[in-house]
């Protein structure tokens, strides 16, 4: 295996946060080749920032894409863009990094080591969750639930399964946590050819909107349905910041898009 990696990032209207994500990719201690592919979702400010500050970075490429008038933010749109980027990549491995999150410096190295040790083509890490301001998220409420009481109940359910613990911001994601929780998109390292045969579904139901099932849920279900051997390295190496569209239920985070229900029949 040549173990080259492309990190795929979709970004829109938050160039300052994207800078943090880029730094975390640049600071990886992985010895192999890493390329950072950034798809700019219709945002000239982000394009200008990348052109000004990162034009000499040979390990980074960016593409500016215009939105059509009927395209809306949400998992349908994001899944479509992630699938597109998977097809654009040219390395053996691909992984994802949301523009508001960051990797620990050993993230990619530990994932590749796990892939070698387990002979798996799909591996993932664990993560720790932070508030938007960078403080650890320690509320005993599952932040991905739209309803307050449901969030408290879900937290207790997941704590009873050992996936989370009071006083800690670590989430121990795994394939056996369904239907309560899936592996986050940014935790994965996946063989590119495997991903191309198991791309993310771009169709979501109203019930999935209510329960906040996003494209990472669909990816995991697709891999499980295909009986792909999946391994977890049990390393906490993703720093996940709240306030993205999947947790911006009330629209209080101006930097983030909001997933509003829209029938897929109206999407392009």
Pick the CATH number of 5-250 from 3.90.550.10, 3.40.50.300, 3.90.1150.10, 2.40.37.20: 3.90.550.10
pLDDT tens digits for range 84-126: 999 999 999 999 999 999 999 999 999 999 999 999 999 999 9
**Based on the number of CB atoms within 10 Å of its own CB, is 67 exposed (0-12), middle (13-18) or buried (19 or more)?**
middle
* pTM for the model: 0.89
Query: Does the pLDDT of residue 257 top 90, yes or no?
Result: no
Q: State residue 267's pLDDT score.
A: 40
Residue 216 confidence class, pLDDT cut points 50, 70, 90: confident
| Residues contacting residue 188 through CB under 8 Å, at least 6 positions apart | 95, 96, 122, 123, 124, 219
pLDDT tens digits for range 174-210: 998 877 788 999 999 999 999 999 999 887 777 766 6
Query: Smallest Cα–Cα separation from 151: which of 73, 242, 235?
Result: 242
Domain boundaries, the chain: 5-250
């Amino acid at each position: 295996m040549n173990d080259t990696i492309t990190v795929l990032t979709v970004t829109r209207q938050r160039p300052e946060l994207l800078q943090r994500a880029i730094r975390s990719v640049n600071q990886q201690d992985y010895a192999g080749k890493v390329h950072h592919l950034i798809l700019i979702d219709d945002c000239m400010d982000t394009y200008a920032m990348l052109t000004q500050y990162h034009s000499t970075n040979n390990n980074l490429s960016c593409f500016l894409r215009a939105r059509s008038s009927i395209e809306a933010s949400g998992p349908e749109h994001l899944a479509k863009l992630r699938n597109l980027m998977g097809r654009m990549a040219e390395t053996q491995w691909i992984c994802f990094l949301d523009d508001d999150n960051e990797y620990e410096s050993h993230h990619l190295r530990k994932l590749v080591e796990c892939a070698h040790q387990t002979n798996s083509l799909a591996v993932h890490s664990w993560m720790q969750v932070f508030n938007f301001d960078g403080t650890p998220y320690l509320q005993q409420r599952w932040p991905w639930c739209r309803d307050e009481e449901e969030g408290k109940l879900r937290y207790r359910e997941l704590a009873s399964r050992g996936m989370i613990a009071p006083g800690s911001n670590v989430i121990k994601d795994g394939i056996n946590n369904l239907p309560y929780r899936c592996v986050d998109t940014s935790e994965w390292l996946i063989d590119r050819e495997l991903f191309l045969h198991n791309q993310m579904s771009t169709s979501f139901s109203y019930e999935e909107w209510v329960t906040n099932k996003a494209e990472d849920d669909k990816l995991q279900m697709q891999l499980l349905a295909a009986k792909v051997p999946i391994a977890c390295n049990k390393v906490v190496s993703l720093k996940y910041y709240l306030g993205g569209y999947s947790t911006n239920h009330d629209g209080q985070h101006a930097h983030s898009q909001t997933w509003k229900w829209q029938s897929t029949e109206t999407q392009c």
